[in-house]
Structure 1
Amino acid sequence: MNFTYILKCRDNTLYTGWTNDIRKRLRQHQEGKGAKYTKGRGPVELVYLEVSETKHQAMSREARIKGMTRKEKERLIEDPAWMDRLREQGVEWKCI
């Protein structure tokens, strides 16, 4: 599985990324070892997650989300349908 995700940083900014191991990547971000952008902006909170079958799909989705305005990202985050899609794909949000 590959994941595209959005983090909310301590300074209320949003960071978008992709990974094939979401638990490991979140731990890296929390430890300040994830990305230059999130270093020093922690703690971070996972506020959005999508599952993709391939790395290419996850990276493409990351690029599309990064091209969105903050308002568009907030609408994406606030739409409860993404959590339903996770459950349908067998990903338990509480476990992440």
Structure 2
Amino acid sequence: MSGLKGSWFLYLLECRDGSYYAGISTDVEARFQAHVAGKGARYTRAHSPLRILASRPYADRSAASRAEWQLKQLPRIRKLAWLERTED
């Protein structure tokens, strides 16, 4: 999922309780493994992640951070719609 070297990615995880967690990383798979190992965010230590639902590349950290903030403002149903979008 994180194939573009040097790119930043916004990713969305599904947690065991059905909740979602959004974050940014340059290596989504490695970051997911950190979350699984309990070394990620505080939220994922309390809400064990199940799988990566989606990720999207962004030009730089700033763009990924802005997109993350926007995604976190959306209600759950709109996050599901974000997953289905193919472009920004």
Q: CA deviation at 1:30?
A: 0.9
The answer to whether residue 63 in structure 2 is matched with residue 57 in structure 1 is yes
**Secondary structure at the residue paired with 2:71?**
helix
Which whole-Å deviations, capped at 9, do the CAs of 1:42-93 have from their partners, x for residues lacking one?
Answer: 242100111011000000000000011111001122x1626xx9xxxxxxxx
**Residues 53 and 5 (structure 1 numbering): CA distance in 2 closer, same or farther, change over 3 Å?**
same
Q: Name structure 2 gaps, 5 residues minimum.
A: 1-6
Quick one: percent identity of the two aligned structures? 28
User: Where do 1:1-96 residues align within 5 Å?
Assistant: 1-77=7-83, 79=84, 81=86
Q: RMSD of aligned C-alpha atoms? A: 1.6
The equivalent of 1:94 in structure 2 is none
| Residue pair 2:9, 2:64 contacting (<8 A) in 1 also | yes
Aligned length: 82
Counterpart of 1:16, as a letter, is: A
Secondary structure at the aligned position of 1:44 is classed as strand
| TM-score (structure 1 length as normaliser) | 0.78
Q: Judge which range, 62-71 or 20-29, deviates more.
A: 20-29
